Chain A
Amino acid sequence: MIAHYLLYIDPGSGSYLVQVIIAAVLGVAFYFKTIWLRIKMFFGGRKKEQPGNQEGHD
């Protein structure tokens, strides 16, 4: 049985902390991705992706 927990709480506030953490995780992932891309570039990898262009959906 799944409780209907949303009834007593503003739906947005429940996801506040979750989004804070997700943003932090994405920040860390992004940080390592940048380092990884630098390492690849250092070893002569092609400059494929700009770290600032994380969206990649155009």
Chain B
Amino acid sequence: MTDTKQHPASFRDPAGFIFEHAGKFYRQVNQVYAPHFELFKKSGLYETLASQKKILSHTELDSNFTATGDWYKTLLPEQLQVISYPYEWCFSQWKDAALLTLELVKTSMDHGMILKDATPFNIQFVNGAPVFIDTLSFEEYDASKPWIAYRQFIECFVGPLLLARHHLQAMLKLFQIYPDGIPLPVISKLLPFKAVFNFNVFLHIRLPQLMGSPQNTAAKKQPVFTRQKLTNIISNLHSFVLSLRLPPVTTTWNNYYEETILSTAYAEARMAIVESWLKETNAQTVTDLGTNTGLYAKAAAAAGKFTIAVDADTACIDKLYNECRQQNIHNLLPLCIDITNPSPAIGWNNEERPAFFQRVQADLVLALALVHHLAIGKNIGLQQIASAFSQLSPNLVVEFVPKNDPKVQLLLSARPDIFTQYNESFFEEAFKQYYMISKKTTVPGTERIMYLMKRK
């Protein structure tokens, strides 16, 4: 059949694949996976995990949309609002994803099954929590064998978390270069010497290194493993991952609203404008660019909008994610994105993982106190900024911070003012090429101007 399109990232596992059909994503289960799929249901594993919202739920269909010979079943999974990738997650998101993976292994073992792979690409954040999306990753458990995905788990979860813990959260972006997992030798090389004095780091990172390459350690005659041994390893990994914490950091942005003089009156006035405009546009989905501590993203979420909050400051995103978990905010997804260098398209044919701009669309973009950072901080032309924003959504709430504003003066204090075309009229002219200005208002008590715009 020609009206189905196989997902470009779904080709590695012969058990099945994802395809698109009439605007929805489906998963085909192939014949070869049939026994595992039946066990997945019969053992009660699917029901347990789906009811705990640890895996994506699905409806079984008996229609062979793709008309392939090895078809066994078609699944219609719960549709995802947005796809995010691990290299866009903060430390805590990554850690929660790791813990989920280990819990899945444990629950699977209780049901006579096991996870055959452990990549964070199989996890998405749905309703504020990590959810496993690859239904075909479970196979029958053979208690005489260890965990086939152990090394993958170390390279995909433990390694990145350790690098972030010992250096910077930004180290998590290494995953963009090593999407199959950061190789153990690389992790080992990058970890500081003192890290090895941790028993678990020694056990899971250094010891495999000391034992040599996998070729040497692939025993010809493999000794028998036991369920208890694997349970011990999984429990140990769980408490190890749980114990990993970031050292406290103070960045330029993570206490911005708490510290800055701009705080209360300004923030409240701006909030009132944003809230009334959000209502007016009737937008259902919002992307907040340069979200900072997420004040306005949280307001959008509280107004019932599904909100994606992005910022280049990973500490801010980590803080926001933890706040969302604590306050049970389910419709806000924080992501570490530098809007001046958003995630590119990566993987086979550059098609496996699409670029941020191709992937994340919303009804409305919020760009508050952002344009001056792009225009003056990064020398990006106003027209280029307008063009980029217009690719993300049909509606835009944008703030223009004039040159005489103290924050802009701060940006200009260490550099010559080459920005002769940075003013209100040039700003409007640039944005009018892509948008119609529907509303314009000055934030009371400041000279900052807020605009509500609609894409042409």
Which A residues are closer than 8 A to B by beta carbons?
Answer: 2, 5-6, 8-23, 25-27, 29-30, 54-57
Please give me the residue from chain B that is nearest to A21 by CB atom.
B207
Cα–Cα distance between A26 and B233 once the two chains are bound (Å): 7
A residues near B207, Cβ cutoff 8 Å: 18, 21-22, 25
> Is the Cβ of A12 less than 8 Å from the Cβ of B149?
yes
Q: Which of A5, A21, A55, A56 has the most B CB atoms < 10 Å from its CB?
A: A55
Please, which residue of chain B has its CB at the minimum distance from the CB of A55?
Answer: B235
Q: How far is the CA of A11 from the CA of B149 in the complex (A)?
A: 8
Closest chain-A Cβ to B235's Cβ sits at a distance in Å of 4
- Count B interface residues, CB 8 Å: 37
| Whole-angstrom distance between the Cβ of A11 and the nearest chain B Cβ | 6
* A-B contact sample (14 more), CB < 8 A, given A19-B225, A20-B229, A54-B235: A9-B214, A10-B218, A12-B149, A12-B150, A13-B218, A14-B214, A17-B218, A20-B223, A22-B233, A23-B230, A23-B232, A26-B203, A55-B238, A57-B239
Distance A16 CA – B435 CA, assembled complex (angstroms): 59
A6 x B214 contact (CB < 8 A)? yes
B236: chain A residues at CB < 8 Å are 22, 26, 54
**6 closest Cβ pairs, A-B complex:** A14-B214, A12-B148, A23-B229, A19-B146, A15-B151, A17-B217
Complex Cα spacing A55 to B240, Å: 10
Cβ-defined contact, B232 with A30, below 8 A: yes
Q: A4's closest neighbor in chain B, by CB?
A: B183
Instruction: Check B203 against A25 for contact (C-beta < 8 Å).
Output: yes
Does the CB pair B229–A16 fall under 8 Å? no
With both chains docked as a complex, state the minimum distance between the C-beta of A10 and any C-beta of chain B, in angstroms.
8
Main secondary structure of the interface of A (DSSP, over half): helix
* Cβ of A39 to closest chain B Cβ, rounded Å: 20
Is B265 engaged at the interface, CB distance under 8 Å to the other chain?
Answer: no
Give the complex CA separation of A11 and B145 in angstroms: 14
Bound-complex Cα distance A19 to B208 (A): 9
Whether A19 pairs with B147 at a CB distance below 8 angstroms is yes
A18 to chain B: closest residue by CB: B208
Closest chain A residue to B214, Cβ basis: A14
Check A22–B203 contact: CB distance below 8 A: yes
| A8: chain B residues within 8 A (beta carbon) | 215
Bound: A1/B222 CA distance, A: 31
B186 within 8 Å of A by Cβ? yes
In the complex, what residues of B have CB within 8 A of residue A13's CB?
Answer: 214, 218-219, 222
Instruction: Report if B343 contacts A (CB, 8 A).
Output: no
CB-CB under 8 A from A19, the residues of chain B are: 146-147, 150, 225, 229-230, 233
CB distance from B265 to the nearest CB of A (A): 46
Q: Chain B residue with minimal CB distance to A25? A: B203
Question: Could you tell me if B219 and A16 are in contact, using CB atoms closer than 8 angstroms?
Answer: yes
CB pair B185–A2 under 8 Å, yes or no, is yes
Cα A10 to Cα B214 in complex, Å, equals 9
In the complex, the answer to whether B214 meets A5 with C-beta atoms within 8 Å is: yes
Q: Which of A11, A25, A26, A57 contacts B151 (CB 8 A)?
A: A11
Measured between alpha carbons, how far is A36 from B214 in the docked complex, in Å?
35
Find chain A residues with CB under 8 A from B149 CB: 11-12
Q: When chains A and B are docked, how far (Å) is the Cα of A14 from the Cα of B208?
A: 10
Chain A neighbourhood of B222, CB < 8 A: 13, 16
- Residues of A near B208 (CB, < 8 A) are 15, 18
B204 contacts partner chain A, Cβ-Cβ < 8 Å: yes
Give the residue name and chain of the A residue nearest to B189 (CB): A2
Can you give 17 contacting A-B residue pairs, CB < 8 Å?
A2-B183, A8-B215, A9-B215, A9-B218, A12-B151, A13-B219, A15-B146, A15-B150, A16-B217, A19-B150, A19-B233, A20-B225, A22-B233, A23-B232, A23-B233, A55-B238, A57-B235
- Least CB distance from A13 to B in Å reads 4
Residues of A within 8 A of B185 (CB): 2
In the complex, which residue of chain B has the Cβ closest to the Cβ of A24?
Answer: B229
**Which residues on B sit within 8 Å (CB–CB) of A6?**
180, 214
Q: What's the nearest-Cβ distance from chain B to residue A30, in Å?
A: 7
Q: How far is the CA of A49 from the CA of B204 in the complex (A)?
A: 25
Specify which of A20, A22, A26, A30 lies most central, judged by the most chain B CB atoms within 10 Å of its CB. A22
Which chain B residues lie closer than 8 Å to A5 at the CB level? Answer: 213-215
Task: Tell me the minimal C-beta distance from A55 to chain B in angstroms.
Answer: 4
Contact of A15 among B214, B215, B238, B242 (CB under 8 A): B214
B228 to chain A minimum Cβ distance, whole angstroms, is: 8
Partner among A18, A27, A29 whose Cβ is within 8 Å of the Cβ of B211: A18
Task: List the A side residues contacting B223 at CB < 8 Å.
Answer: 20
Interface 1/0 per residue, B154-192 and A, CB below 8 Å: 000000000000000000000000001001011000000
Interface residue B101 (Cβ < 8 Å from any Cβ of A): no
Q: Which residues of B are found within 8 Å of A2, using beta-carbon distances?
A: 183, 185-186
B215 contact set on A, CB distance < 8 A? 5, 8-9, 14
Query: Are B232's CB and A27's CB within 8 A?
Result: yes
